[in-house]
Structure 1
Amino acid sequence: MMIEAQGLGGVSVAAATLRPLDAIIEEAALDRQAVLNAAHLPGNLLDPDHEGQISLGDYFRLSEQIALAIGDETIHVSARPLMLGTSDFIRDRLRSAKTARDMLDILAASYNVIHGGRYNKVTQAREELCFVMDDSEFPYAIPKDDPFILFSLEALLVYVHVLLRSSSTADAPLPVRSLRTRRKKGGVPSPLADWGVPIVHGARHFELHYDAAIADWPVDPAACPVLSSRTIYGGIARTLDQLGHADAAGGDIVERTAQALRDGLGNQQSVARHLGMSVASLRRRLEERGTRFREIRAATLASEAKLRIDNGQPVAEIAEDLGFSDGRSFARAFRDWTGQSPRQYRGDRRLS
């Protein structure tokens, strides 16, 4: 059976699975509330008694914020930290890929170089093309069978699939045959069960199995929206959000527009493309809700800018993250939104 995994947008993970992140945040002396606010997640998400769930997209968004805050792209899951910029290395190497097999090979080899071991490989046999992650000797900073580690590795399979899916230029959808996980049989099932792809529990490795026919399918990583994002984590999150709203007529169009802006899509054309509609359709649907793109953009970016200033982020970085050409243009916009310059706002907050 081969499946184009449209169900990814509906995958969610229990807050309890993410509890180790709280210890990571505390160990790094980060403000937990600030990190969760930056990811636009509930402030009580990591509380011991919180029983909610978050989407897979929100998991990647939270991972992005922690990685940016601590300067480690493994978010301290590995005993060997990865400096920020690793994503740039991956991005640059992937741009040479011409086929799906090229892309998988480059991903495996690149992460082996980064982590200093042969943890990833690509195999092709019995009509299947497989991406394999062997973590048996990986230097984890927490127990390798912790539910968070198991989920993190399963999420990495999603990461690989979304990168490949977003880069494919083939007319046909990208078929997934199955995936494998080390998660024990008979225990808590993988959250990826909602993906709609057959899952084999109790496997030796984490594996993603495609039909071998896709090996020669063309890819264009240079046009991949995930790879053009500020961070790959953020690009994955946006793509998963889009899958979660595959029916463009569904969902809250105002909140979806605001979320796209928060994730770094700075103009109406890019937001409309992300939401799977024309600029005219986006404009019409917003007007039906009694608002306009310009108003949502101003309100969203003002709120995001205030949050980042409150967290102590330099103005130049905020300007870049929010899509402004320089700090001066951002300062002008901030004054239009709030009646204050960023410096005045920061000073007033310190006095309050």
Structure 2
Amino acid sequence: MGPYFVSASELDTLLSDLNSTVINTNQSEILSYSQNNPIGDLTEPENEKSNVSDLVALPQALKMLANHQALTFDESYSISKRKLRKGSTKLIFSALQNCKTLEEALVSLAESYNILHGGEFNLVIKEGDTISYVVDDKNFHYQIEAVPLAIELALLGIHCTLSYLCGRPLKTTRVGSKRKNQPEYKHHLDIFSCELEFSRQQYELSYEISQASLDIRLQSVEDIIDVQKNYYEYFIKLVHDEDKANFLRHCKGKLLTASAKYVLVEQEYIAKCLDISVATLRRRLREYGSSFREIRDECNNAIACKFLLRGWEINKISEQLGYSDVRSFTRAFKRWQGVSPSVYAKVSAVKKD
């Protein structure tokens, strides 16, 4: 997951407008950031020669853009002849509190942006197995010229905000951009994790049609604005939580399957099943606030309870789970359930009757 970046040169182009004070402030900030923050986690693709120092971390880039809006009182980054006054974005996203599904939210955003921009530039299209948010800017009233980065970041903001309101990272099937070619580093576009298409006639953010009916969590206007202002951080947390849940579920699934086959489960076995090293298994579990012992205990607890309910003898369960003796198993079970296996079996039998 990540890290995600924005090209400093593209960011400079986007932030350059007729206000020399704003230009100097942001150019200085970009230059300072690029020179003083080497990108250590970025691996340069083979056969590509790109200036890595030209990259600005996405969170920092978003802060620069927010500062620019505050200085210019224009939330279109001064690229539109028809300025978006301060507070326009809040107004647009606050309307989401009346939406119940993802489809309704996409339509609401398209209609709101069109009202403020004074034209039919945004639309939602349902076609086949996809629902798409489309930006058609061919007749847009640009002040100078179109800047693909601006529209791409707008789509990114929509995607991340709606993901949070749906309670899950939405899955994009395709993202289209009018930029002529894929940049050497896709930077911020990597966050979409799907097919990227360039030299398109329109900008497009496409989802599987099955997601159109996803519920939008009811939020207050204040909550929605908070999410929209911090959409990147909220989205990254969603992705992290989903990765954590998926990885732990996968590990536990392998453990349960192995135990059912009378396999003495150790971390080397699970690492092999997941096609990763033991060191990677330990590191990922540690990153997710867990450990191999914790997930093994959780699985052994579930298996032991299931076998006790089936009437298995305690010594057989102990052997099945790989404990050296019954006493070791009993101590572990008391730690999990607060009672001994025999007491648990008796109480469960009474409840069953």
Shift of 1:180: 0.8
Return the alpha-carbon distance in structure 2 between the equivalents of residues 99 and 130 of structure 1.
14
Structure 2 gap segments, 5+ residues each: 36-50, 245-287, 290-353
Shift of 1:96: 0.1
Shift of 1:16: 1.3
Shift of 1:45: 4.8
Q: Which of structures 1 and 2 has the bigger CA Rg?
A: 2
Aligned partner of 2:170 among 139, 159, 174: 174
1:204 matched residue in structure 2: 201
Letter in 2 for 1:176: T
Return the alpha-carbon distance in structure 1 between the equivalents of residues 28 and 233 of structure 2.
17
Q: Secondary structure at the match of 1:89?
A: helix
Letter in 2 for 1:137: N
Q: Secondary structure at the match of 2:114?
A: helix
Pair 1:216-2:209 in alignment? no
1:109 matched residue in structure 2: 111
Return the alpha-carbon distance in structure 2 between the equivalents of residues 205 and 102 of structure 1.
21
Shift of 1:224: 8.9
Identify the range of structure 1 (132-141 vs 177-186) with the bigger mean alpha-carbon deviation: 177-186
Q: Identity rate of aligned residues, in percent?
A: 21
Aligned partner of 1:27 among 16, 19, 24: 19
Shift of 1:188: 5.6
1:43 matched residue in structure 2: 32
8 Å CA contact 2:96, 2:105 repeated in 1: yes
Pair 1:73-2:70 in alignment? no
8 Å CA contact 2:93, 2:109 repeated in 1: no
TM-score in terms of structure 2 length: 0.57
Q: Deviations over 1:215-259 (max 9, x none)?
A: 111002516997242x83x322433564797689xxxxxxxxxxx
8 Å CA contact 1:157, 1:208 repeated in 2: yes
8 Å CA contact 2:102, 2:212 repeated in 1: yes
Task: Name the CA shift for 1:226/1:203 in 2 (closer, same or farther; >3 Å).
Answer: farther
Structure 1 gap segments, 5+ residues each: 1-6, 249-275, 278-352
1:349 matched residue in structure 2: none
Q: Secondary structure at the match of 1:199?
A: strand
Letter in 2 for 1:181: S
1:238 matched residue in structure 2: 233
Return the alpha-carbon distance in structure 2 between the equivalents of residues 242 and 11 of structure 1.
14
8 Å CA contact 1:13, 1:53 repeated in 2: yes
Shift of 1:69: 1.5
Return the alpha-carbon distance in structure 1 between the equivalents of residues 145 and 117 of structure 2.
18
Output aligned runs, 1:123-272, within 5 Å: 123-144=125-146, 149-169=147-167, 173-185=169-181, 190-195=186-191, 196-222=193-219, 227-229=224-226, 232=228, 234-239=229-234, 242=237
1:95 matched residue in structure 2: 97
Q: Deviations over 1:306-349 (max 9, x none)?
A: xxxxxxxxxxxxxxxxxxxxxxxxxxxxxxxxxxxxxxxxxxxx
8 Å CA contact 1:227, 1:235 repeated in 2: no
Return the alpha-carbon distance in structure 2 between the equivalents of residues 224 and 42 of structure 1.
36
Shift of 1:20: 1.9
Return the alpha-carbon distance in structure 2 between the equivalents of residues 225 and 52 of structure 1.
36
Q: Secondary structure at the match of 1:81?
A: coil
Return the alpha-carbon distance in structure 2 between the equivalents of residues 221 and 59 of structure 1.
30
Q: Which has the higher contact order (CA 8 A, sep 6+)?
A: 1
8 Å CA contact 2:15, 2:65 repeated in 1: no
8 Å CA contact 2:175, 2:197 repeated in 1: yes
Q: Secondary structure at the match of 1:157?
A: helix
Measured on the aligned residues, the alpha-carbon RMSD in Å equals 3.5
2:332 matched residue in structure 1: none
1:53 matched residue in structure 2: 55
